[in-house]
Amino acid sequence: MNNRMTALFENKHENILNIYFTAGYPNINDTVTIISELEKAGVDLIEVGIPYSDPLADGPTIQESGTVALKNGFTLKLLFEQIREARKTTTVPLILMGYVNQLMQYGIEKFVKECADSGVDGLIIPDLPPAVFERDYKELFAIHNLSFTFLVTPNTSDERIKMLDNLTTGFLYVVSSASITGAKSGISDEQVAYFERIKPLISSPKLIGFGISDNETFTTACSYAEGAIIGSAFIKMLSKDGVGGIASYIKSVRG
């Protein structure tokens, strides 16, 4: 499999910055502008969250942004139109992050085909069990050149980490703590010990997420992985400063 995302990890091995935002937030038509501004600001990878009424892994900030997006009239049909529009001018790798029910309701084959046709490079579906992925979807995603990312947490056993490392066709999303997104700031000694423990178990690229918000936490995370993911802190910035604040925020994270 070779798409924009796998090409990124082949060509860059450190300080990879992945920014997560919720589609349709703050305003329904901000998606294309946000993608464009993030690429201009030098972000390596963009994770577009699909608003959902019951987002299990997301903290209050991301949940609230999803609620606003749904009230704004967000639909998956609109998202695919927006990604097509963004693809006219952007080459940055794009990942969609959502939940199994959303795919089921849309129709999984239709969803996957729309991803490929609109220019999506990968998927993160936290509640899709690895065994189901391998049995039912791995081949389908591969046919449509979509990489798939699994999450590991401090509670994931070494054996399971190795299994997920073998299964992932994108990167491994290293969840920095056992809490929901956006719940903490800073990186503790306990988290550092966890990053050290899992490093030798993983051969896939790793990006650390949850609790990354500024230059200090980004730099620390990047010393234990190929890069890091910022979500809640970016959404808080958007709610305060709007799309006009993107360039200065990314500059502050890069340092």
**Contact by Cβ (8 Å): 141, 170:** no
Among 37, 44, 58, 121, which one carries the catalytic annotation? 58
47 is catalytic: yes
* Cα 225 off chain centre by: 15
Place of tokens 């189901």: 132
Catalytic residue among 30, 37, 47, 226: 47
Tokens 């959902």 label which residue? 52
Identify whether the C-beta of residue 118 lies closer than 8 Å to the C-beta of residue 84: yes
Whether 58 is catalytic is: yes
Please choose, from the candidates 12, 63, 19, 48, the residue with its C-alpha nearest in 3D space to the C-alpha of residue 252: 19
Main-chain dihedrals φ then ψ at residue 181, nearest 5 degrees: -65, 145
The span from the CA of 187 to the CA of 28, in Å, is 34
Phi, psi of 63, deg, nearest 5: -60, -45
Q: Which residues are catalytic?
A: 47, 58
